Structure 1
Amino acid sequence: MIEGIYRETLTKAVAFSHRHFGKIVAKYGYSIMTRRLGDDDVFFLNWGYEEDPPMNLPLDPADEPERIGIQLYHRVAAQEDLAGKRVLEVSCGHGGAASYVMRTMNPASYTGLDLNPSGIAFCRRKHPLPGLAFLEGDAENLPFPDASFDAVINVEAAHLYPNYTTFLAQVVRVLKPGGHFLYADLRGRDDVAKWESDLAQSGLEVVSCEDINKQVLRGLEKNSKRYQDLINRHAPPPLRRLGRDVGVTEGSPLYEEVERGDIVYRLYNLKKP
């Protein structure tokens, strides 16, 4: 019974923090995590993605340790040809996707934006590539002129934003006409109708939409041991169980919600008319 109460309380606490304290989590929670990871080069913070049969995406040897995280970003970004395009990633985390897309999809420029100052410092230090820039900034107040980008990428982050519709309005504003919003995110099953309604009212046209719960669950399975090892190395002992649960390792409450379908994970390609 105590175990059940713990799981229910954790799930509700995480959901509440995402809805009401998203910016605090993004700016300070992730900043603490970045500093705790220290010299561990963890470039991807997303849940991951794997197909059945395996995706077998060709990767450089240096990218191989981050395969599961890369595969999700590849599926998102490769929905459109980004060669020669100006690309913005909102909530770029530790910059692994920015580096990967810049090296393999040949955009003219790629800007990664994140609210986490420690994360932006990490990105600038670890990913010094021509045409790649990192800025600290707010997803709900993008610091760019109108019609600045051909594509905006956002992965597993917008559920943290307190004002999701404000974010969508900002995406529409900075996209050029005909530009694409390449997007993957999750919602509780009871929140999907509101999610769909917000997107329908944003002014963006849905080019494609795909539920990818099974692929994300396989990614979580493959990443689980690695995440547990990172948590055991970097989290103080009293916080390791909480870290494993928040990190969505195998058997955690959030993992089981994905497994049951109580969390819906989707891949979108949306277009500005």
Structure 2
Amino acid sequence: MVKWIRVGITLLLASFFVTACGFNQSSFEDIEAKNMEEKKQASSQPEISKQQQYASGKSEKEKTKETGPLTSKELSHLKKYEKDDVVFNGKRDSEKWVALTFDDGPHPEYTEKILDILQKEKVKATFFLIGQNVKSYPKLVQKELDEGHVIGNHSWDHPFLPGLGKEAATANIEKAKKEIEKAVKKQVTLLRPPYGAVEGIKKELKKSGSVIVNWDVDTNDWREGRTSEQIFEAVKKHVQPGSIILQHDGGGNRSATIQALPKIIRYLKEQGYQFATIDQLLEMRPYIEG
């Protein structure tokens, strides 16, 4: 598994933004104190089995921890992300891990079809959800979780956050986070701002401890008239080890995305790529219990 990430600072110009499209407000000190208390309680409890400790994957190396108190290493990871700005990809190395991500869902037609493809291909992905869609289709969120996929926050209604101002942008993200966490029943750590736009609001977005995750391979599947072959070729041309690939399961007609997805997965497998969810790619937890 990959162990490190490349982190970059992004200042996105308005002309660059394309339709791409946390924790609670507790500080890391609060989380650390909570962890210490949980560890004390855990010491008097029976040891949790490996099957309980891990959510998905074929081996311990591939599986994602999601229960129990944070380890010192994990807490250190989260503190590092608090200081960093935006994640674009995982480590570029010979292990060739990539992450498929889908924005703007859940959608009653397209999300279902994408989930069917992923299940057939035995691939796990990360879904960045729109809060108002979660409110409308909570059962689809549960299906994503039940099938081993990971959930992140993609705002309440897909606004251009920097244009809202700091307070309104924060309120929009928090509203979505609450709705998503109601469905997930855990605190989510992954955040993808609409359009990847964070200029002037990074500090506010990260106050809740969220890890801001953008992408380094944009399929541009949102563009009107974009064909499945064009979507596939975008992945083929730009994918690298550690890539985070952006696609959409909502926000418009995603028929071409669905048509391209099996071909993308088969091509990546043929090229020796392995699939990871974002938390696996970054070696962090996607959720905080409680």
Length-normalised TM-score, structure 2 = 0.30
- Structure (1 or 2) with the greater helix fraction: 1
Length-normalised TM-score, structure 1 = 0.32
- Structure (1 or 2) with the greater strand fraction: 1
